[in-house]
Structure 1
Amino acid sequence: MQHLSKKIFISHSTLSVILIMELVIGIIGNGFIALVHCMHWVKGKKMSLINQILTALSISRIFQLCLLLISLLINFSYPDLTTRSRMIQVTSNVWIIANHFSIWLATCLSILYFLKISNFSFSLFLYLKWRVGKVVSATLLVSLVLLILHIVLINMEITLCINEYQRNISCSFNFYYHEKCHRHMLRLQIVFLPVPFVLSLSTFLLLIFSLWTHHKRMQQHVQGGRDARTTAHVKALQTVIAFLILYSIFILSILIQVWNYEFLKKNIFIVFCQVIYIAFPSFHSYVLILGDMKLRQACLSVLWRLK
């Protein structure tokens, strides 16, 4: 029994170290993206739409990762503070906002890649392509409506949980919240996650179709080699598919929690879920660095100077 407890403690400690490393790696990667684009903005006095989205995305993820890091430090240093109902309500709302912008800005990036790189002759596509800035702005505005609805529903759920707890105080609020309310919160989150996923998946499939039609057109006129548009298609597809894979893992981790909620009663599983959560905003930043020539060159320059 002692041997099993020791193994669980070691596993928990290992996952905690991995979680902290992911947080640090993610903050460094997103901080690097924001810094490079801000430096180019200061030098050139202007910033393209794609760089604006990348900068906003990296800043939102820095905030998201710092928020989780602070909450972990508070949880380790002042565990009683995180069990209060007001603290749970505040952290839930802030986490929803940070996570929302992290997901939707990445989705806007997929839409931007699709409109900039794809080549269709449909009148609707051409209309959207010529107004790509307005399309991105409209997407973000629609996402804000979903964000407000999400926050309202979450706060209603937490308020209901607090009222039920106050009528029957037989345990700590933290225990009552995780036993009775947390699963409903996860179900609410699942309701809002498929929308950006479906949008990104649609852009991915349309990019593949655009690449296929472009490849057929090129075969009729040019033999061999890869032209610039094909290369742009491939790079965009690589970035979008990396986002979809990481986002799918993120959604899958939440579905597992809802499907088998008994796992959440074990601290080691909670830490494991957090490790999966953080993999999305942390590692996706390095996918963006590898997919952007300026960011890649800046990263190689920094590594060369460090050597």
Structure 2
Amino acid sequence: VDTFFGDTISMVVIMTCCVVGIIVNVFILVIGYLDWATRKKLPNCYMIVSCLSSSRLLLQGTVLYSTLCQGTHHWNVLRVQSALLVLSSTACLWFAACLSAFYCVKIATFTQRHFLLMKLRISGMVPYLLLGSMLVSLISSVPFIWTDFSVHLCNSTRSSVKNTTGDSTVGNISYFKVFILYLTWMTIPLLFFTASSTLLIASLWRHTKQMRRNMTGFKDLSTQVHSNAIKTLISFLVLYFCSFVAEILLGIPSCLAKSRWKHSICSFIVAVCPSIHSILLIFFNVRLKQTFKGILLSMRGRILSPFVLSFVLIIN
């Protein structure tokens, strides 16, 4: 009974996080589409954020489906789910690295020649970076279509699940080899993201020290912009490290990691981290924040009015 209630609560929490994340990311995509429809051109930052939200929609939708249909051991279904999870999670990391690099090049104040050249060219490079990230994510997910999952799943006796579904198309690629490849594809963008975030933090820290030495009594607006960006990136860094570790633990063969709670906790982290950061993106982006606040204010006078007004005070 305890196991049943524990699994039920875990499913409800994960599904709730996924639904919240889907709603928030749909909101970000709609605002991006409206901006594009009005201007006929999407700013580079919104372009990256829109791609990031799209990949998160795919990730959370796949996690939601996997949670609803857990226990399904049909091989073709497992391969499609695994390929979609790898595609979306890898794309999230690559788009995160693109966003971090874009902020770093645009905001950081390093004076090295190569950095200054990158600052001039980064706007034109964004579409190619996004396209390259998408292609790399697609390539990294392809091996999972032909993977043999018989060493990855375990039944109630903790032995490998055999092909009892009658599916004759058994994968011929070892899961362990694909997992090592997956780990490599996940680590590379995380290293890029960490490096660019560290450079930006160093630049902003140096700028803050200079401002303290030359304090005039007036608040520097550029410092506020930089602070908002660094808050976004620091939260992004923490959340993605947590998500990265959780996804790796989920990918480790179940026969080697037998804890039921391991799967529930890691699934929760994978579901909640993108949702939290999508909400933070709204708070730290002026356009998204104002639009979101306007939607909440339009709900005044309804049954949710006390909750809405308190939430408006929070985001202010």
TM-score bracket, shorter-length normalisation: 0.7 to 0.9
For structure 2, the 5+ residue unaligned runs are 153-159, 300-304, 306-316
- CA deviation string 1:28-75 (max 9, x = no partner): 1101111112122222332211111112221222222223323434x2
Q: Using CA pairs below 8 Å that are at least 6 residues apart, which structure has the higher relative contact order?
A: 1
Q: Please tell me whether the aligned partners of residues 91 and 137 of structure 2 are also in contact (alpha carbons under 8 angstroms).
A: no
- The counterpart of 1:54, out of the listed 49, 54, 74, is 49
- Compared with structure 1, are the counterparts of its residues 202 and 293 closer, same or farther at alpha carbon in structure 2 (3 Å cutoff)? same
TM score, norm. by length of structure 2: 0.78
Amino acid at match of 1:98: S
Counterpart residue number, 1:3: none
Give the root-mean-square deviation of aligned CA atoms: 3.1
Counterpart residue number, 1:276: 269
- The counterpart of 1:252, out of the listed 245, 249, 254, is 245
CA distance in 2 between counterparts of 1:300 and 1:170 reads 50
CA distance in 1 between counterparts of 2:63 and 2:198 reads 34
Moved more, 259-268 or 290-299: 259-268
CA distance in 2 between counterparts of 1:285 and 1:267 reads 28
Q: Please tell me whether the aligned partners of residues 48 and 130 of structure 2 are also in contact (alpha carbons under 8 angstroms).
A: no
Amino acid at match of 2:110: F
CA distance in 2 between counterparts of 1:197 and 1:112 reads 15
Q: Please tell me whether the aligned partners of residues 26 and 285 of structure 1 are also in contact (alpha carbons under 8 angstroms).
A: yes
Moved more, 138-147 or 7-16: 138-147
- Compared with structure 1, are the counterparts of its residues 170 and 123 closer, same or farther at alpha carbon in structure 2 (3 Å cutoff)? closer
Counterpart residue number, 1:120: 110
Runs of 4+ in 1 over 6 A off after TM superposition: 159-162
CA distance in 1 between counterparts of 2:64 and 2:252 reads 27
Residue 102 of structure 1 deviates from its aligned partner by: 1.8
Residue 19 of structure 1 deviates from its aligned partner by: 0.6
CA distance in 2 between counterparts of 1:250 and 1:259 reads 14
Say whether residues 1:13 and 2:4 are aligned partners. Answer: no
Amino acid at match of 2:13: I
CA distance in 2 between counterparts of 1:218 and 1:105 reads 32
- The counterpart of 1:237, out of the listed 222, 225, 230, is 230
Amino acid at match of 1:280: C
CA distance in 2 between counterparts of 1:159 and 1:261 reads 11
Q: Please tell me whether the aligned partners of residues 232 and 280 of structure 2 are also in contact (alpha carbons under 8 angstroms).
A: yes
Counterpart residue number, 2:37: 42
Q: Please tell me whether the aligned partners of residues 110 and 203 of structure 2 are also in contact (alpha carbons under 8 angstroms).
A: yes
- Compared with structure 1, are the counterparts of its residues 279 and 189 closer, same or farther at alpha carbon in structure 2 (3 Å cutoff)? farther
Aligned length: 287
From the two aligned structures, give the one with the greater helix fraction.
1
Q: Please tell me whether the aligned partners of residues 12 and 268 of structure 1 are also in contact (alpha carbons under 8 angstroms).
A: no
Counterpart residue number, 2:211: 218
For structure 1, the 5+ residue unaligned runs are 1-5, 163-168
- CA deviation string 1:112-146 (max 9, x = no partner): 11111111211111100011134434544554564
- Compared with structure 1, are the counterparts of its residues 55 and 145 closer, same or farther at alpha carbon in structure 2 (3 Å cutoff)? closer
